[in-house]
Structure 1
Amino acid sequence: MSYAVIRMQKMKSHDLKGIQFHNQRERESKTNPDIDKEKSNENYDMVHDQNIDYNENVKKIIESQKTGTRKTRKDAVLVNELLVTSDRDFFDKLDPDATKKFFRDSLHIFQQKYGKQNIAYATVHMDEKTPHMHVGVVPMRDGRLQGKNVFNRQELLWLQDSYPKTMLQMGFELERGEKGSEREHLSTADFKLKTEREKIEQEIDLLENKISDKKNELLVLNEKVSDEVKIPAKREFKNVEVESKEKNIWGKPKKEIKKEPTGNVIMAEKDFKKVLTAAKDNERMKNGMKRLLSTDLSKENERLEVQNTLIYGEWEKASGENQRLKKENQELRSENRDLRHEIGLLYQSTKEFLKERADDLRAFRNDFKSLVGKVKEKITGSEFERLHKREQTRERNKGLER
């Protein structure tokens, strides 16, 4: 039987834009190789018919129920997102309609538990390795946000224990993850890596948007600055007395007046204002470029890309280990079945052997009971003991029927 996987992640205001990009596939992911773009059209939201603005929708949900006048804190948890899924084997056994029913029934459970009005979104992803659903729950209770009270320890235990049981009653072959098992720890580590990777992808998307916004700012500034400022200006000259080549009667060079440039220009006041405006625009553009470079958004984006690659490597390693343990688990189960069968044969053979050599039925029962007792002393809860108890129960039931 497959295991139910349900995990909860807290979302604050600044997280919602990133998860919106991821859930609604609003940006092409360059960092998540699990996404098959050809299947992205198979994704759907079970609450909305079209893409929404997560922040606006969550704000509406809060404001429609809020009873107090106090403003929502900037660092408040606005959404508790539940990720609902199982393993690949589980979904391989379901046809598309059954898969949709699985997610619809799961959503119905959460709507009853947390209030239909508090479900901000319920996006099903069919374009990744394993189908899964992101359910955004706004933790409103008694007219205010109460994330800590709505999703307390008892509630998280309910999600792990009662949700799988409820789905089993609905006809889905699911069970709770084995408590304390290596499989459970590995699945949790696998999920944490995946969650961390998604968070980094969201950060990368936000940074790329910021870079795009900065580029647009520079383009706007660039459009304001003319390529060539044509100003009708005249050079300023002054009269300077210089020696000429001609000489006077005393044989000394004659003086003459010559116009020389002063290094200044003469222009109309309106033309001067044009030059001043162009210079200011150019300075703003330079400062904008410096500001863009000083924010190190490109470097931060590159750092996150590297970090994401490392996390993806760890996640792949964990997934590989998960598959290995799954295969090993299947082999152990098969081996366990074979051993139980062999013990069953040994049980019957031993019983028949003692029965043939006993003086009467009472002696046989005492001898066999003594043998089971010795086995019990050596191995508590053995298969041999289990078979004996089952047979005794069967004999008692037969006696009652008579």
Structure 2
Amino acid sequence: MSYAVCRMEKMKSHDLKGMQFHNQRERESKTNSDIDKTWSHENYDLVNQGNIDYNERVKDIIESQKISPRKTWKDAVLVNELLITSDKDFFDALDPSEQKRFFEESYKLFAERYGKQNIAYATVHVDEKTPHLHLGVVPMRDGKLQGKNVFNRNELLAIQEEFPKHMQKCGFDLERGVPSDRKHLDMARYKLQTTQEKINSLENELAEKEHRRTQLNESIEKTNGLLKALKKSDENSKEIDMINYKESGLIGPKTVKLALSDFESMKTKARASEAFKIENKVVSARNKQLSQENNELKLKNKGLNRENQALKHENRDLTKQNMFLTRTLESLKYALKEHVKDFDYILGAIKSLVLDNMKVTNKAKYLSDDEERLGAKVMWTLCQGHLKKDSHETSNKYCSL
């Protein structure tokens, strides 16, 4: 019988964009080789008709219910994502309509349990080796965002019990959970994959910010060139003020005699000067705005770099954890295999002793009662000593493991 699998992962604000890219296949994954892009068009969402912005959707859910005017904490858990699936053999035995019904019944259970209004997305992936459902639950309760209370330890244990029972009632042949060692190993791999997705998302976002900063720098250079031209125009205006003039006499008005070409040039520069003064104000304001945006982008860039480094450290830790769990699982398999060998050996020894005992018993038919009791006692003592020896050796072997 197949297992019913339901895992939960916490999502904060910086996690949602990467999860959006992964769930909605907005960007090509560099880490998940299981995705078959020829089937990606068969993926669907049980809540949304098309692609959505996860951050905006979650924000709308929170704002529509919260009763406090206080802002949501930056590091608050915004979504608890449930990964719902089973093994490949289970899905291979279902036709497409039954497979879809499996995910629809899963969605109905959790929508009723946590509130339909709190389900941000319910994305079904059929383009990987095993079909599965990503169900995003915003943990709102009593007008507050409280993931620790909604998804506490008791709730997680209840999910492991109730989910397989519900699916069995719906006609699906499933049993509870998976072995703990395998579960932890799979979870480590899942976290490793999603962490890599987040790193790729941040790197893409960082590249976009770098491109935007380059554009801003080019705009600032262009603005500086225009300012130089305006300053030159201003210098031309000052040259006009420095033109000397002569008075025509005591009675006549004060006049200036200029060549016609100089006069026309002066008029052109004067008109250009007024236009440049107006444009200068506009460009100066724009330049100030661009400089401010550039500074903000530098700050965001530093923040993204720090976050990227933190995720890379987390990625290395998860890789080490994955290797440790893999080795532990292999050790357990080896120990179990050796245990079976020892058990077969002990069973063979017991069979051999029993056969020997039967031979002795047949011979004992011709012995007296005292001789028969003495022989049986010797055989029982030998059997006990042999078994204790085997048991002691086996115990020492597994203690060394």
Confirm or deny a common fold (TM above 0.5): yes
Correspondent of 1:171 among 165, 170, 173: 173
Q: Which of 88, 93, 101 pairs up with 1:91?
A: 88
Gaps of 5+ in 2: 247-256, 366-371, 396-401
Q: Structure 1 counterpart of 2:68, which letter?
A: R
CA 1:258 to 1:274, structure 2 compared with 1: closer, same or farther past 3 Å?
A: closer
Q: 1:196 to 1:328 in 2, by over 3 A?
A: same
Identity across matched positions, percent: 37
1:238 corresponds to which of 235, 243, 256: 243
- C-alpha distance 188-119 of structure 1, shift in aligned 2 (>3 A): same
In 2 relative to 1, CA 332–307 (structure 1 residues): closer, same or farther, beyond 3 Å? same
How do residues 39-58 of structure 1 correspond to structure 2 at under 5 angstroms?
Answer: 40-58=40-58
Write the distance in 2 (CA, Å) between the matches of 1:289 and 1:154: 48
Q: Contact 1:221 / 1:285 at 8 angstroms: preserved in 2?
A: no
Residue type at the aligned position of 2:354? K
Deviation per CA, 1:315-346: give whole Å up to 9, x if none: 55554555555555445544444444444444
Alignment of structure 1 residues 51-70 onto 2, 5 Å? 51-59=51-59, 61-62=61-62, 66=65, 69-70=67-68
- Distance (Å, rounded) in 1 between the aligned partners of 2:70 and 2:36: 37
Give 2:284's aligned amino acid: K
For 1:344 and 1:48, locate their aligned partners in 2 and report how far apart those are by CA, in whole Å.
61
Is the 1:13–1:74 Cα contact (8 Å) retained in structure 2?
no
TM-score, reference length from structure 1: 0.62
Alignment-derived partner of residue 299 in structure 2 = 295
Structure 1 contact 221–284 (Cα < 8 Å) conserved: no
Structure 1 unaligned regions, length at least 5: 242-256, 384-402
Cα distance in 1 for partners of 2:110, 2:152 equals 15
2:288 is the counterpart of 1:284: yes
Q: Secondary structure in 1 aligned to 2:78? A: strand
Counterparts of residues 112-131 of structure 1 (less than 5 Å)? 112-126=112-126
C-alpha contact 2:119 2:137 (8 A) present in aligned 1: yes
Q: TM-score, normalised by structure 2?
A: 0.62
RMSD: 5.4
Of the structure 1 ranges 148-157 and 3-12, higher mean CA displacement relative to structure 2 is found in 3-12
Work out the number of aligned pairs and report it. Answer: 355
Structure 2 distance, partners of 1:143, 1:279, is 48
Is the alpha carbon distance of 1:142 and 1:218 closer, same or farther for their aligned partners in structure 2, counting shifts above 3 Å? same
Instruction: Give the structure with the larger helix fraction.
Output: 2
Secondary structure (helix, strand or coil) at the match of 1:352 reads helix
Larger strand share, 1 or 2: 1
1:167 & 1:106 partners in 2: Cα distance? 8
Q: Distance in 1 between matches of 2:303 and 2:320?
A: 26
* Mean Cα deviation higher: 77-86 or 167-176: 167-176
- Using a 3 Å threshold, how does the CA distance of structure 1 residues 47 and 108 change in structure 2: closer, same or farther? same
SS of equivalent to 2:154: helix
Query: Contact conserved, 2:78 with 2:145, CA < 8 A, in 1?
Result: yes
Q: Secondary structure at the match of 2:356?
A: helix
Q: Secondary structure at the match of 1:267?
A: helix
Counterparts in 2 of 1:376-395, with a 5 A limit? 379=391
Name the SS for the 1:9 alignment partner. Answer: strand
Q: Is this contact kept in 2: 1:124–1:134, CA < 8 A? A: yes
Match of 1:354 in 2: 357
- Kindly tell me: are residues 278 and 47 of structure 1, through their superposed partners in 2, closer, same or farther at Cα, counting changes over 3 Å? closer
Cα distance in 1 for residues equivalent to 2:45 and 2:359? 70
Q: Which moved more, 1:144-153 or 1:3-12?
A: 3-12
Q: Deviations over 1:283-336 (max 9, x none)?
A: 337625742663362x66566666656655655555455555555544554444
